[in-house]
Amino acid sequence: MTASKSSRARNARMAAQAAARSGTVVKNGSAARSGTAKPAGTAKAGGTAKPAGTATGDRSGRDQGPNGAARNGAAARGTRTIAVGDEPAERGPAPWLQIATFVLALAGLGVSIYLTIAHFTESALAGCSESGLVNCTKVTTSPESYVFGIPVAVLGLAFFVFAAVVMSPWAWRSSRREIHLARIASLVVGIGFVLYLVYAELFTIGSICLYCTSVHVITFLLFVLTAFAAAAWGLKPGAPWKLVPDRQPE
């Protein structure tokens, strides 16, 4: 029996030494399972290390797309830019300019018709003074009321007939460059003729005619608006246009 106990004690010592070499802890006479303890946060074999306490499903308002690119779930910031093709584009200059020039041309045409009738019927102009600085009869019967043997009233009538056509919204919306060039050229000639008539009234005749002055003012306004249209929309304003707001960064 003594030999048996000695043999068991020797075997226990040998097992303890073997366990100590392999890192196995002996407790209550039995060897602990071999292997090392895994500290918290250690990655599994073949995986990526994740710190302890990190939420795997954490999303800060951003989702991951199929290709791994971050995609913002909120609405795009800023105003959406409207493309020209989204809605029918306007043609020609702004509608207010088309209407204003057309109305002015019709007004000038009406005054020119009245002056032409009064010239050939030799009737007095209604509401116009016959003496002093304002003297319509003196102006309309003066030698300066003819240019190259043609009455100025007739020339004004022809000018405003043409102006009523080229100032119409249909002409403004035309894509033909010739129409817009003819409009500008006619206004340049018209404003030059107006300057000559104003000079003749003030320095040669010494009187002015209210109806003639109204025609001069209308011609000047048409010249200014046409020049503005050419500067703002170019020499071919009949092309489609649309105001598009600037795209803001998303």
Query: Mapping DSSP to helix (H, G, I), strand (E, B) and coil, where does residue 26 land?
Result: strand
Task: Indicate whether 51 belongs to any domain.
Answer: no
* Six-digit token string for 51: 């710190």
Q: Which residue has the higher pLDDT, 129 or 140?
A: 140
- Rounded to two decimals, what is the model's pTM? 0.60
Q: Give pLDDT, residue 31.
A: 38
Q: What is the CATH number of the domain that holds 154?
A: 1.20.1440.130
Q: Which residue has the higher pLDDT, 113 or 86?
A: 113
Task: Indicate whether 108 belongs to any domain.
Answer: yes
Task: Indicate whether 109 belongs to any domain.
Answer: yes
Roughly what angle, to the nearest 10 degrees, separates helices 177-199 and 152-166? 150
Number of domains, the chain: 1
Task: Indicate whether 163 belongs to any domain.
Answer: yes
Task: Indicate whether 27 belongs to any domain.
Answer: no
Task: Indicate whether 216 belongs to any domain.
Answer: yes
Task: Indicate whether 234 belongs to any domain.
Answer: yes
**Residues 71-76, mean pLDDT to the nearest whole number:** 43
Beta partners for residue 181, in sequence order: none
Whether 144 contacts 204, CB under 8 Å: yes
Task: Indicate whether 101 belongs to any domain.
Answer: yes
Of 36-40, 59-63, 140-144, 196-200, the range with the highest mean pLDDT is 196-200
Domain span at 236: 94-241
Nearest to residue 152, comparing CAs of 167, 166, 164, 136? 136
